[in-house]
Structure 1
Amino acid sequence: MTVVHADPLSWLTDEAAAIAAAGLHRQPVARTATGTEINLASNDYLGLSRHPAVIAAAQDAVATWGAGSTSSRLVVGTTQAHLDFEDDLADFLGTPAALVFSSGYLANLGAVTALAGRGDLIVSDTGAHASLIDGCRLSRARVVVVERGDVDAVRRALAGRAEQRALVVTDSIYSIDGEVAPIAELYSAANDLGATLLVDEAHAVGVRGPGGRGVVAECGLSGAPGLVVTGVASKSLGAQGGFVAGSTALRAHLIDRARSFIFDTGLNPAAVAGAHAALGVLRADPQLPQTLRGSVQSFADAVGALAPQSAVVSLIVGDPVAAVTAAEHCRAEGILVGCFRPPSVPAGTSRLRVTIRADLAPATLLSVAAVVDRALESVGAR
């Protein structure tokens, strides 16, 4: 006779109620394909996801290689398109080599866990992306967390270590508020004390640096020894995927040791080709990042925000329910904006996160600013 026990997952009902009561319930909402809404919630900073050359390249790749990679990169999941993109990306970033992963999350996970393990030290900061945090946890290394931008704290952690090998990890542009980390100073600290610096340039490529090459290039550190760059093809390059760039020895090591590369199905060829075409558009129009930053400044001025350092304008509301209400107000007027609540941001700092695109006309940005202003006023955040 089968004995039916109580559902061991019954606790999920109480958990869901608690999440909803705190104003933190999340639900995916489908955007329309017709483009009737103005999307300022994505990370398509240069507006290249719908560029004709990008779409055409992706379509050609599907016709040539099929819809998927069909296996891991080390079986038959690597196409010539992958290798060509990696070579061009490395050249663009000023590094000897690059390796493409199926997402930025997996690129960070693979890089951190392949470069640090039990018996090593990782120094991370409070602004690190969740993928870096999870990489730190999975690495089994000793992890010291410092306040973001605190170079002296990084130096103290490195100087006081007993471990021989150490890795410092940071975003170059913090994803929530778009502030820029002190990359040159962090590199000096790591270099002086025999550590490797890993910089996540996900929100910097296409936005900062000469021709959109990122903060590392802006600091004159492209290809520097002991420096690892990670990034994505899903933001300024308008497609999908992640990458790690650095020395040829680093690339070879990741192929051998990065589990999120070895055991994951390769990035689909359409995304590879689309991202590569977007990189070509950026190379051909190196003023695109400057156009973007000018648009960001115009929007920030219109909503009375502080001068932004990237493509992100962060508008703090405070209460998570009020932030959701403000975002829904914007959606009702045809404007999509990001709504960030804990645990993505600290308690009491729920906000609208508006990401500007280089392909938006000045008049459009001003009309969007007026909608955002009204939304903030409606919840008492103005």
Structure 2
Amino acid sequence: MSFDLDAGLAARRAAGLYRQRRIAHTPQAPARRFDEGGRLTFCSNDYLGLANHPALIEALADGARRWGVGAGASHLLAGHTAAHHALEEELAAAVGRPRALLFSTGYMANVGVLGALLDRDAAVFSDRLNHASLIDAARLSRAAVRVYGHGDVADLDAQLAAESAGRRLVITDGVFSMDGDLAPLPALAWLARRRDAWLMVDDAHGFGVLGPAGAGSVAQAGLGLDDVPVLMGTLGKALGTFGAFVAGSEALIETLIQHARSYIYTTALPPALAEATCVALRLMQSEGWRRDRVAALIARFREGAAALDLPLLESATPIQPLVAGSTERALAWSAHLDSHGIVVPAVRPPTVPDGTARLRIVLTAAHEEAEVDRLLNSLAALPPRA
């Protein structure tokens, strides 16, 4: 059988699901220049506005002068430097756990953790709206995969009660990346302990934004190591750099070093990037005004959206989903904003469930109030929603 790739691509185009990239010619910021010209963007995960911060740029340059560019090897060969180690220690302290381990991406962290902890005799319980990296990690782990309703603790309880597997892991986003809502972490933690399971939280979109000093959704919920034995966070969103980490007990981190294939068999992050991330982490902790600013912009946007009767999902995070329903309507809304010089890409199936295509509007500390008002003025003239 031959691979008819052209037919598959044509079908995707016809369904309105074809993905295309914009080419940016300026650094990460709300106002950017693309091939099409200048645009105001509301689609970046640079929640604290740190990706183009002068202190991070300086730290990266200084780190490159000290360490060179590439790490040159995996952490277990010759790639683990004092810069990596210092960052791991600072990340562990930031989330209140004994140890942390760096991964190249959040995707690799999730795949590595589940692959190291689970096998064919285990079971993993995944929220229906978890990020693709958790979904794929569960599938690749070889464990039995059980999917519970989004945030549905009763459904999860029933599935845990019926499962006979010895090793059981509940996995959830802390903040759901397409809906912006929070997982019911206290209830999940209580249930996991009651059912003799572990809870793992992917806090990619909560770390840096929520909790005391930006420690994340788990800290905001008042949960500790015993409640959430496995915590994953990313560095390329609120911290504005790149990479990910897993934090937990001494035994967990040592187990991952021994068994997580996506950690063992890949080149370490550039050490200069670790230097820059340490600076970003300190800014995250010391400059609480950034979180305050994001919260104020969220309130301003939601108030304006309510006045316009826009179909926003409930979200107290920077992720503000505006549900269009059909793929065609979401594309039309995105094109309308683009015609007003604003970039908010349409998010379509399979990234979100059928019938829930949307604009994923994201607010950051780098946005101005006038820019939020400009967005609202453009949304006021959206094509018909009926």
TM-score class, shorter: over 0.9
Residue by residue over 1:214-246, the C-alpha shift from the partner in whole angstroms, topping out at 9 and shown as x without a partner, is: 111012113225521001001000111011011
| Matched-pair contact (CA < 8 Å) for 1:300–1:306 | no
Instruction: State whether structure 2 residue 254 is matched by structure 1 residue 248.
Output: no
Structure 1 residues 72, 135: closer, same or farther in 2, change over 3 A? same
Residue by residue over 1:243-266, the C-alpha shift from the partner in whole angstroms, topping out at 9 and shown as x without a partner, is: 101111111000110001011111
TM-score, structure 1 normalization: 0.93
CA distance, structure 1, for counterparts of residue 99 and residue 46 of structure 2: 25
- Cα distance, 1:308 vs structure 2: 2.3
- Cα distance, 1:288 vs structure 2: 2.3
CA distance, structure 1, for counterparts of residue 175 and residue 237 of structure 2: 13
Q: How does 1:183-332 map to 2 (within 5 A)?
A: 183-224=185-226, 227-304=229-306, 305=312, 308-332=315-339
Q: Structure 1 stretch 131-140 or stretch 71-80: which is displaced more?
A: 71-80
Secondary structure at the aligned position of 2:76 is classed as coil
User: What residue is the counterpart of 1:359 in the other structure?
Assistant: 366
User: What residue is the counterpart of 1:87 in the other structure?
Assistant: 89
Structure 1 residues 153, 355: closer, same or farther in 2, change over 3 A? same
Identity in percent = 38
User: What residue is the counterpart of 1:25 in the other structure?
Assistant: 18
CA distance, structure 2, for counterparts of residue 373 and residue 111 of structure 1: 45
Residue by residue over 1:58-101, the C-alpha shift from the partner in whole angstroms, topping out at 9 and shown as x without a partner, is: 11122222222222111122121111111001101011111010
Q: Structure 1 stretch 62-71 or stretch 347-356: which is displaced more?
A: 62-71
CA distance, structure 2, for counterparts of residue 338 and residue 298 of structure 1: 21
Secondary structure at the aligned position of 2:19 is classed as coil
Q: Structure 1 stretch 361-370 or stretch 101-110: which is displaced more?
A: 361-370
CA distance, structure 2, for counterparts of residue 27 and residue 207 of structure 1: 29
CA distance, structure 1, for counterparts of residue 67 and residue 241 of structure 2: 17
Structure 1 residues 274, 337: closer, same or farther in 2, change over 3 A? farther
CA distance, structure 2, for counterparts of residue 157 and residue 175 of structure 1: 24
Residue by residue over 1:107-142, the C-alpha shift from the partner in whole angstroms, topping out at 9 and shown as x without a partner, is: 111111111111001111101111111111111111
Residue by residue over 1:190-210, the C-alpha shift from the partner in whole angstroms, topping out at 9 and shown as x without a partner, is: 011111100010010122111
| Matched-pair contact (CA < 8 Å) for 1:187–1:197 | yes
Secondary structure at the aligned position of 2:59 is classed as helix
Secondary structure at the aligned position of 2:77 is classed as coil
Secondary structure at the aligned position of 1:75 is classed as helix
Q: Letter of the 1:347 partner, please give it.
A: D
| Matched-pair contact (CA < 8 Å) for 1:317–1:351 | yes
Q: Letter of the 1:117 partner, please give it.
A: D
- Cα distance, 1:143 vs structure 2: 1.0
Q: Structure 1 stretch 320-329 or stretch 213-222: which is displaced more?
A: 320-329
Q: How does 1:35-74 map to 2 (within 5 A)?
A: 35=32, 36-74=38-76
- Cα distance, 1:185 vs structure 2: 0.4
Residue by residue over 1:260-308, the C-alpha shift from the partner in whole angstroms, topping out at 9 and shown as x without a partner, is: 1011111122332222211111111124223211211211222234552
Q: Letter of the 1:46 partner, please give it.
A: L
CA distance, structure 2, for counterparts of residue 126 and residue 45 of structure 1: 25
Secondary structure at the aligned position of 1:351 is classed as strand
TM-score, structure 2 normalization: 0.92
User: What residue is the counterpart of 2:140 in the other structure?
Assistant: 138
Q: Letter of the 1:190 partner, please give it.
A: A
User: What residue is the counterpart of 1:4 in the other structure?
Assistant: none
- Cα distance, 1:338 vs structure 2: 3.4
User: What residue is the counterpart of 1:381 in the other structure?
Assistant: 385
CA distance, structure 2, for counterparts of residue 167 and residue 200 of structure 1: 13
| Matched-pair contact (CA < 8 Å) for 1:103–1:232 | yes
Give the number of equivalent residue pairs: 372
CA distance, structure 1, for counterparts of residue 375 and residue 81 of structure 2: 42
Structure 1 residues 306, 144: closer, same or farther in 2, change over 3 A? closer
- Cα distance, 1:346 vs structure 2: 1.0
Structure 1 residues 226, 239: closer, same or farther in 2, change over 3 A? closer
CA distance, structure 2, for counterparts of residue 318 and residue 248 of structure 1: 46
Q: Structure 1 stretch 90-99 or stretch 268-277: which is displaced more?
A: 268-277
Q: Letter of the 1:257 partner, please give it.
A: H
Structure 1 residues 59, 325: closer, same or farther in 2, change over 3 A? farther
CA distance, structure 1, for counterparts of residue 112 and residue 313 of structure 2: 35
Secondary structure at the aligned position of 2:171 is classed as strand
Residue by residue over 1:11-51, the C-alpha shift from the partner in whole angstroms, topping out at 9 and shown as x without a partner, is: 11111111111100111111231634322111001111011
CA distance, structure 1, for counterparts of residue 253 and residue 239 of structure 2: 22
| Matched-pair contact (CA < 8 Å) for 1:191–1:226 | no
Q: How does 1:88-167 map to 2 (within 5 A)?
A: 88-167=90-169
CA distance, structure 1, for counterparts of residue 274 and residue 126 of structure 2: 30
Q: Letter of the 2:385 partner, please give it.
A: A
CA distance, structure 1, for counterparts of residue 228 and residue 374 of structure 2: 46
